[in-house]
Amino acid sequence: MSFLFTQILYRPLFNLLLLLYNYIPGNDLGIAIIALTVLVRAAFFPLSIKAQRSQKALSAINPKIQEIRARLKNDSTAQNAAILQLYKEHKVNPFGGCLPILIQLPILIALYRVFVAGINPQSLSLLYSFIHNPETLNKLFLGFLDLTSKNHILAIVTGLLQFMQSRQSAKYMQTSGASKEMAAMNSQMLYLFPVIIIVIGWNLPAGLLLYWVTATGFSMLEQLYLKKQS
Amino acid sequence: MNIITQLLRFYRNTSQYMRFYVPSSLVLTPCKYYPSCSEYAELALHKHGLVKGGLKSVRRICSCNPWSKGGVDLP
């Protein structure tokens, strides 16, 4: 299992990181991390757009579902039929289920480990023969930000960016249909989640924070795209 | 039973929040079933008890795969 994981996911991603490092002018590990993150996120772009649209459509009909549930409380067959009808009318098409998560998780774990390995290269032995071995990696992002050490300012920036992204996303979803309990929880989490990110990020090497910042920035661009389309 | 219900609700709220607001790390696709697995589990546990309800919940989670149609499925 771990052999498969290494050969199928970890090793190709690791080589891709080094390839990007070698070919992007400047030989900057930070830029290679950003580039690899953008590539992986771009690969998931169609799925992500579809998922967010579908989620929005679902949350839009949520109040109607609640209403049906309350109205046909004692007749579960009629309830089923009414909800099914509602899904059809609004062309809500929840797809995929939990399979996409099961595919993404190993990729994310591999990506995380590749970044850790890039930051602390114990060996570059997993490089394919056709990838040039740079021997040492330049770990000063843009010449001043050390990717291997903690960076509290970057941790705070990451948290702030996460807050902005969540708020932007909330605007797009407009979860008016959320239950009271849910709405309260959401507004709490809107502030709490970025704080959690800062707490976790406080002791992480800056290279990993750079990954999170890039992924969050990419999401914000995705949101702009979604907004333009609708 | 109460603790299980609380845990299920906590999971549901957190995952809902992640679905809506934090798509940057992981793309979470909407559930193909209605109600969602956590709501289903809550209903099943109350209706059929811990053993049968639990088994029904496990069956439901396993049926969230590419070969199932999804849709409305109540315990």
Look at A80 and B26 and tell me if their CB atoms are within 8 Å: no
A79 contacts chain B (CB < 8 A): yes
Is the separation of the CB atoms in A157 and A212 below 8 Å?
no
pTM of the model: 0.85
**Residue from the list A108, A166, A185 with its beta carbon closest to the beta carbon of B25:** A108
Reported ipTM: the value is: 0.77
pLDDT in tens, B49-62: 999 999 999 999 88
Residues 188-207 of A with CB under 8 A from B: 189-190, 193
A58 contacts chain B (CB < 8 A): yes
Closest CA to A175 of A95, A74, A60, A81: A60
DSSP letter at A9? I
pLDDT tens for each residue of chain A, 230 residues long: 688 888 889 999 999 999 999 999 888 999 999 999 999 999 999 988 888 888 888 878 888 888 888 888 787 788 888 888 887 777 666 666 777 888 888 888 888 888 888 877 666 778 888 888 887 888 889 888 888 889 999 999 999 999 999 888 888 877 555 566 667 777 788 888 899 999 999 999 999 999 999 999 999 999 999 989 87
Mutation for A interface: B15, B19, B20, B37, most A CBs within 10 A = B20
A87 contacts chain B (CB < 8 A): yes
Rounded to the nearest 5°, which phi and psi values hold at B66?
Answer: -65, -15
pLDDT in tens, A83-140: 888 877 776 666 667 778 888 888 888 888 888 888 776 667 788 888 888 878 888 8
Q: Which residues of B touch A222 (CB under 8 A)?
A: 23
C-alpha span between A124 and A49 (Å, rounded): 36
Q: Give A136-204 as a DSSP string.
A: S---EETTTEETTSB-HHHHHHHHHHHHHHHHHHHHHH--TTS-HHHHHHHHHHHHHHHHHHHHHHTTS
Closest CA to A217 of A159, A161, A156, A153: A161
Look at B22 and A193 and tell me if their CB atoms are within 8 Å: yes
CA atoms within 13 Å, Cβ hemisphere of A230? 15
CA dihedral sign, ordered A67, A71, A76, A81: negative
